Amino acid sequence: MTFTFELNSKPNTAGKYVVYLRITENRKHKRIKTTVALDKKTDWNQKKKEVRSSCPDAALLNERLKRELDSVLNKYQDCKDEGTATTDRVIEKIESIEHPVSFLEYAKRRTQEVHDAGGIRNWKKYVGFCNKLEVFLTDNKGNVRDLSFSELTTPFVAQFEAYLHTLHNERQPEKMLHPNSIQVIMKAFRAIVNRAIEVDKIIPMDKNPFLTYKLKGVETTKDKLDQSEIESIKALDLPEGSLIWHCRNYFLFSYYCAGIRVGDLIQLRWGNITKDGRIEYKMTKNHKERDFALVEPAKKILSYYHKKSVKATDYIFPVLDSTETWCRAITLEEKDVLPAEEKEKMYARIGAKTALINKELKKIANMAGIEKKLSFHVSRHSFAKAAKKKGVDNLKVQELFAHSSLKVTEGYMGHFESAENDAALASVFEDGAKKVDLDVLATQLNSLTKRQFNQLMKKVKHYKP
């Protein structure tokens, strides 16, 4: 029985060329897949049966092939000792043992699989994790050491997380990496480990380093606008048709539509608006359906963009270029089956447009005298605050947000217990006079015409003109 490596002449679905171990017995061949896959056929030295030195990871890949061959030879020797040294028996023993793979290479391979499957959001998180792990495993000479699955222990996970806390934020180098960003990286780490355990059966469940390791994040303060701040934004005199004017419309439309996310808003088409004044669409994040009546302020914003010539497939808001190839996918089901490259372009464009809108919202906040950090997502939290103030039940807001967990909704609703406690305490000692929210009252008075105001004042007992 002989053992030799050979390169598959055809690429796999990921466009890579897999190295196989060929087992020959009595001129009959059987092949088993190794964990090594090359980007180019020319990276393989057919004469030496190894990865060419010109390949960037040649040393690491050849070392892995050597380990895998040694493991097979050991199993072959076991079979000989048992008197069952047939090709089928050797392969059976090989497939029954723990796969001798590098965790880093496995993580990269899994990352590519996620990309090829169209999971662009998770792909970006996995890429971030792999990049951080690779730097963590790199020595002072620039060599990346291998990481075996046997090294995936709870102490190793703790060391890696501690390392992440020493890194600076790439966008804001003066700041350290935020604990919640670290949590995202660690969640990607855990997801890949779980995949190796549950699907690929590379390591047993009891060897999962995350069994006793808890991921830590920090609770962040979610900025929310109150009604007076919303009114300040509405009152700004902005040039009609300007970018900043459009961005205000986008923000307010989201606020009036129970906090529709920016990615969903800019992809809305006129077909999502029904003849009886409702909005119907599926959320990109969780594929849940949303269907509710449009309130009058939302309808007014839509009137700025509606033309007699519009088609159901036209975008409502002038944000995306409808000539791009991926724009032909109208429904969420059609977007789900887009090629990974098209999805990548789509998310990149949406991300760029989101950044542009948020840039304009910062200008709006400054013009309106709002000191809070204004971004598009604040519209979602602001709606939750308005709902809370109106006494809307959390379960009803959960339904409007299409959250799968009430706990997530409660995070949006915020911590208003202190204000409620103050009000309860004050009610014990107040003299029976109705408590008035002066900010809300002032907003309402400012919205009156001069004639309406004078008519109202005539009915106020203590008012003297």
- Give tens-digit pLDDT for 263-295: 999 999 999 999 988 889 998 887 888 888 888
Tell me the three state secondary structure of residue 34: strand
Domain boundaries, the chain: 2-97, 104-207, 227-415, 418-458
Which pLDDT value is given to residue 391?
Answer: 61
**In the predicted structure, residue 414 carries a pLDDT above the cut 60:** no
pTM for the predicted model, two decimal places: 0.61
pLDDT tens-digit series, residues 69-106? 888 888 778 777 777 777 777 777 665 544 546 899 89
Q: How many CB atoms lie within 10 A of CB 443?
A: 17
The superfamily CATH assigns to domain 227-415 is Intergrase catalytic core (1.10.443.10)
Find out whether 46 and 20 touch, Cβ atoms under 8 Å: no
**In the predicted structure, residue 418 carries a pLDDT above the cut 70:** no
- Average per-residue pLDDT in the chain? 83
Mean pLDDT of 365-387: 87
**CA–CA distance, 278 with 291 (Å, rounded to integer):** 7
pLDDT tens-digit series, residues 308-329? 999 999 999 999 999 999 999 9
**In the predicted structure, residue 246 carries a pLDDT above the cut 90:** yes
**CA–CA distance, 60 with 145 (Å, rounded to integer):** 8
**In the predicted structure, residue 464 carries a pLDDT above the cut 80:** no
Tokens at 106, concatenated: 């496995």
Mean pLDDT of 254-263: 88
Q: Phi/psi at 438 (nearest 5 deg)?
A: -65, -35
Find the range with the poorest average confidence among 32-41, 93-102, 194-203, 456-465.
Answer: 93-102
- Angle among Cα 163, 167, 169 to the nearest 5 degrees reads 150
Mean pLDDT of 202-214: 88
Which pLDDT value is given to residue 437?
Answer: 62
Mean pLDDT of 112-133: 91
Q: Kindly list the distances between the CA atom of residue 220 and the CA atoms of 172, 178, 181, 412, 414, in Å, as whole numbers in the listed order.
A: 18, 11, 12, 11, 11
Which has the higher per-residue pLDDT, 316 or 58?
Answer: 316
Q: Which helix (H) or strand (E) holds 159?
A: helix 154-164
Mean pLDDT of 411-434: 42
Find the range with the poorest average confidence among 92-96, 132-136, 251-255, 395-399.
Answer: 395-399
pLDDT tens-digit series, residues 126-148? 999 999 999 999 988 888 888 88
**In the predicted structure, residue 374 carries a pLDDT above the cut 60:** yes
Q: Tell me the pLDDT band of 423, cut-offs 50, 70 and 90.
A: very low
**CA–CA distance, 177 with 159 (Å, rounded to integer):** 16
**CA–CA distance, 39 with 7 (Å, rounded to integer):** 12
Q: Phi/psi at 317 (nearest 5 deg)?
A: -100, 140
Which pLDDT value is given to residue 402?
Answer: 46
Q: How far is CA 11 from the centre of its chain?
A: 30
* Of 127, 128, 1, the residue nearest 76 (C-alpha): 1
**CA–CA distance, 122 with 70 (Å, rounded to integer):** 35
* Of 44, 2, 54, 42, the residue nearest 19 (C-alpha): 44
* Strand order across the 17-25 sheet: 2-7, 17-25, 28-38
